[in-house]
């Protein structure tokens, strides 16, 4: 009896430390898995033109900001950043305006065909982007929207709005009916209901939706490439140029970092609001 009592705490202790050990190991592996590629890109962006990075050097022999200077002086990056950061907020706003009523309907009502509707809304996210891009561009060509800013706005909204819609719908769905009933019982009219109940409860979802839509527009490549270039360049199209025909590793490294910084920054800022529920509602549930 005493033996059993004696061994029990020991057993529990060793199981805890194994789990902890595994967790630490996984964290270490993940850090390597995520950070090392990022670190290498940073290194490539800092290669000194007078001191090329070639074997046997494992890291650049000396660092310099020359590659950054080059990209900012000679490449399309200035125009691309402007276009990207002009498109993204416009697309987010348009997505919000279009998505709000539909998200409200899906979130709060039940009606026949709702399931099919949810799938329709998911389609732009999962359908192969290059096919949509190429043939939508033919449609736009016929409509005179090819190589126009409006065409880009429409295209980006098509691809980014589903995120806003699904997240908002989940947010609306999550509002407990009793809160609304209680407010009604206390005499709240429609406007008051919206202002004091709906909006505050949906705000986190709105923020999450805006983050996703903004980032989707910033990172959008296929449609912008087909419909917009060469008249309009965004950061992803500039990066693609430096990865394909006009492959220059150092320039690609600089542009990659420029493209990544806003996305990852938004991720960390929004970490508090991006509960797993929002992320998985964007993809996982029907």
Partner 1 sequence: MTSRRVFLSGALTVVAMLGGAAVCQAADDYRTMPWDKVVEAAKAEGEMTFYAWWGEEFWRTAAKDFEGKYGIKVNVVTGDRPANIGKVVAEASSATGTIDALLVGGVELKSLLDAKALYGPLVGVIPDSDKLDAKLSKVQEGYATGGYLVPVYRNQTGFVYDPEKVPNPPQSWADFTAWLDANPGQFAFNDPSKGGSGQAFVQAAIVNVLGDEERYAGDTELDEKKVADWGKVWDWFNANQDKFTITASNNDSLDRVNQGEVMMAAAWDDDTSVSLAKGTLFKRAKLYIPALGMPGGGDSLGIPANALHKAAAMLFVAYLVQADVQKQLNATIGSYLARTDITGENALIPEEQRQKNGRAWIPGAYKGYFIQQFVSEVLQK
Partner 2 sequence: MNDMQPGRITLLLLIIPGAGFIFLFLSAAILMTFLQSIGLYSLVGESHLTASYWLSLMDKTFFDSFFFSLKVGVGSAFGTLLFAYPLALFLRRRRFGARTIGSIIKIPLFVPALVAAFLILNVLAFNGVLNNVLLWIGIIDRPMRMLNDTFGWNVLIIQVWKNLPFQLLIIASVLETIQTDIEDAARNLGANPLRVIFHIVLPLSAPGILIAVVLVFILTFGDYAITRVAGPVYPSSLSVLMYTDAFTLQQWGIAACIGMVVIVASLAFVAIYARAARMIQGMGR
Query: Nearer Cβ to partner 1, position 172 or 242?
Result: 242
Q: What residue 174 binds from partner 1, partner 2, none (CB within 5 to 8 A, per partner kind)?
A: none
Q: What residue 66 binds from partner 2, partner 1, none (CB within 5 to 8 A, per partner kind)?
A: partner 1
For residue 47, give both structure tokens.
């290669």
Q: What residue 231 binds from partner 2, partner 1, none (CB within 5 to 8 A, per partner kind)?
A: partner 1
d(CA 104, CA 213): 18
d(CA 260, CA 218): 10
In angstroms, what is the minimal distance from the CB of 73 to partner 1?
Answer: 7
Site residues for partner 1 per CB under 8 A: 47-55, 66-67, 70, 73-76, 147, 225, 229-231, 233, 237, 240-241, 244-250
For residue 182, give both structure tokens.
């209680």
Query: Nearer Cβ to partner 1, position 83 or 213?
Result: 83
In angstroms, what is the minimal distance from the CB of 54 to partner 1?
Answer: 4
Q: What residue 3 binds from partner 2, partner 1, none (CB within 5 to 8 A, per partner kind)?
A: none
Q: Is 146 left (phi over 0), alpha (psi -120 to 50) or beta?
A: beta
In angstroms, what is the minimal distance from the CB of 137 to partner 1?
Answer: 11
Query: Nearer Cβ to partner 2, position 162 or 204?
Result: 162
For residue 33, give both structure tokens.
């898995």
d(CA 151, CA 238): 19
The number of C-alpha atoms within 13 Å of 242 and in the hemisphere containing its C-beta is: 22
In angstroms, what is the minimal distance from the CB of 222 to partner 1?
Answer: 13
In angstroms, what is the minimal distance from the CB of 217 to partner 1?
Answer: 21
Q: What residue 148 binds from partner 2, partner 1, none (CB within 5 to 8 A, per partner kind)?
A: none
148-155: Cβ within 8 A, 24+ apart: 149/87, 149/232, 151/227, 151/228, 152/87, 152/223, 152/224, 152/227, 152/228, 152/232, 153/87, 153/90, 153/91, 153/94, 155/220, 155/223, 155/224, 155/227
């Amino acid at each position: 009896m005493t033996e059993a009592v004696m061994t029990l705490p020991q057993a529990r202790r060793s199981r805890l430390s194994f789990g902890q050990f595994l967790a630490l190991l996984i964290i270490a592996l993940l850090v390597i898995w995520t950070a090392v590629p990022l670190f290498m890109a940073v290194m490539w962006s800092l290669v000194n033109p007078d001191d090329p990075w070639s074997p046997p050097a494992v890291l650049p022999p000396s660092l310099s900001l020359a590659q950054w200077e080059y990209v900012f002086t000679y490449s399309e990056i200035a125009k691309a950043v402007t276009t990207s950061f002009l498109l993204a907020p416009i697309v987010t706003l348009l997505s919000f305006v279009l998505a709000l009523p539909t998200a409200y309907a899906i979130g709060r009502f039940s009606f026949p065909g709702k399931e099919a509707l949810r799938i329709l809304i998911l389609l732009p996210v999962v359908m192969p982007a290059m096919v949509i891009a190429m043939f939508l561009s033919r449609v736009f060509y016929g409509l005179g929207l090819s190589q126009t800013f409006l065409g880009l706005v429409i295209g980006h909204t098509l691809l980014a709005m589903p995120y806003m819609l699904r997240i908002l719908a989940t947010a609306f769905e999550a509002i407990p009916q009793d809160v609304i009933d209680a407010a009604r019982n206390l005499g709240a009219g429609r406007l008051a209901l919206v202002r004091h109940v709906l909006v505050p409860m949906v705000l986190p979802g709105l923020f999450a939706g805006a983050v996703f839509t903004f980032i989707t527009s910033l990172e959008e490549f296929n449609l912008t490439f087909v419909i917009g270039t060469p008249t309009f360049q965004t950061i992803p199209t500039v990066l693609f140029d430096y990865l394909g025909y006009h492959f220059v590793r150092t320039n690609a490294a600089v542009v990659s970092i420029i493209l990544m910084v806003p996305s990852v920054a938004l991720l960390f800022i929004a970490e508090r609001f991006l509960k797993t529920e929002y992320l998985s509602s964007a993809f996982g549930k029907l």
